[in-house]
Structure 1
Amino acid sequence: MPKVSAEHRAARREQIVDAMLRCVARDGFHKTTMAAVISESGLSAGAVYLYFRSKDELIRAIAELVVGEGLSVVTDSSADDVPPPHQVLAAALERVVALGEERGVDVHRVALQAWAEAARNPEIRAIYAREGERGRAVWATYAEQAIAAGHLPADASPVRVAHALIGLIPGFMVQRLVFEDLTPAGYVAGLAGLMGT
Structure 2
Amino acid sequence: MSPKVSQAHKEKRRNEIIAAAKTVFIRKGFEKTTMHDVVEESGMSRGGVYQYFSSTEEMMRALMDQGEEAFTGQKDRLYEKYETSWGVLEAVVEAHNIVPMDPIGLVVYEYFVAGFREATKERTHYLKKRLHNVKGFYIDVIERGTAEGEFKPIQTPDVIASYLIILTDGLILHRNLGEEVETDISGLIEGLKIYLRNALGMQ
Aligned to 1:117: 114
Mapped partners of 1:168, 1:24: distance in 2: 24
**Cα deviation per residue 1:34-90 (whole Å; 9 max; x = unaligned)?**
111111111111111111122222122122122222223345443993231323333
**How many correspondences in the alignment?**
189
Q: 1:35 to 1:67 in 2, by over 3 A?
A: same
**Residues 67, 169 of structure 1: alpha-carbon distance in 2 compared, 3 angstrom cutoff:** farther
Residues of 1 paired with 2:44 and 2:29: CA distance? 21
- 1:63-74 paired onto structure 2 within 5 Å: 63-74=64-75
Q: Which runs of 5+ in 2 are unaligned?
A: none
Match of 1:103 in 2: none
Q: TM-score, normalised by structure 2?
A: 0.77
SS in 1 for 2:29: helix
Distance 1:156 1:82 in 2: 20
Distance (Å, rounded) in 2 between the aligned partners of 1:150 and 1:178: 40
Structure with bigger helix share is: 1
Distance 2:76 2:129 in 1: 18
Alpha-carbon shift at residue 147 of structure 1 (Å): 2.2
Q: Evaluate the alpha carbon distance shift between residue 76 and residue 185 of structure 1 in structure 2; reply closer, same or farther with a 3 A threshold.
A: farther
Write out per-residue CA displacement over residues 101-137 of structure 1, whole angstroms, 9 at most, x where no aligned residue. xxxxx22222222223213224322221121121122
SS class of match (2:84): coil
* Max Rg structure: 2
CA RMSD, Structure 1 to Structure 2 (Å) = 3.0
Residues 1:87 and 2:86 aligned together: no
Moved more, 182-191 or 66-75: 182-191
The percentage of aligned residue pairs carrying the same residue is 26
- Distance in 1 separating the partners of 2:13 and 2:97: 26
**TM-score with structure 1 setting the length:** 0.79
Is the Cα–Cα contact under 8 Å of residues 111 and 173 in structure 1 kept in the other structure?
no
Instruction: Report the CA distance shift for 1:11/1:182 in structure 2 as closer, same or farther (over 3 A).
Output: farther
CA contact (8 A) 1:33 1:55 kept: yes
Alignment partner, residue 39 of structure 2: 38
